[in-house]
Amino acid sequence: MAATARTITPSTGGGPDGSPPPASRWALLPLRLFLGLTFLYAGIDKYTSRGPFSSAMDQGAIETMLEFGRDRAAVPWMVDLVLANPGPFGHAVAVAEIAVGAGVLLGVLTRLAALGGALLSFSFWLTVSWSTDPYYFGPDLPYLFGFLTLVLAGAGAHSMDARRTARHRRTGSKLYG
């Protein structure tokens, strides 16, 4: 009698090849969609009719908001730096938000895009929402930790990064370099 090989699937429900269970392949997608769409919208909104660079909310309104919160910021020198150059910083933040949002949403260079999002969220927390009490009412910490999750985990299965990695594994070529 011939012995038959039997594959034991881990208790997590993964496949015999070690692949994650089907549901976990989708686990990071809602986070990517939320963070990506939110940051993409935030960046684009700065250039639309209701954004801070429009007549409805001009540069002066941003300066007033920053001056109001300056003394309660964790790092007031960062607020001073932005106040000294509000136009360039405003444009830099808008472009960074668009790049972070697009990268995370599409899953392209996700860890790098998420690191950018984490740095933006961290700087917003240190300058704008630091004095929020209790801290969990502050809007920037959840974004920071959402982006840190993507920095650590990557984009997940449904991303351009995953497709690129799979293609390179099939062809045997190096992913980078």
In the chain, where are the structural domains located? 28-171
Mean pLDDT of the chain: 81
Q: In the predicted model, is pLDDT for residue 96 greater than 70?
A: yes
pLDDT confidence tier of residue 57, bands split at 50, 70 and 90: low
Determine the average pLDDT of the residues in 53-57.
57
Contact between 147 and 121 (Cβ < 8 Å)? yes
In Å, what is the CA distance from 61 to each residue of 19, 41, 64, 66, 67? 51, 20, 5, 9, 10
DSSP state of 71: G
pLDDT confidence tier of residue 33, bands split at 50, 70 and 90: very high
User: What's the pLDDT score for residue 147?
Assistant: 92
Determine the average pLDDT of the residues in 68-85.
87
pTM higher than 0.85 for the full model? no
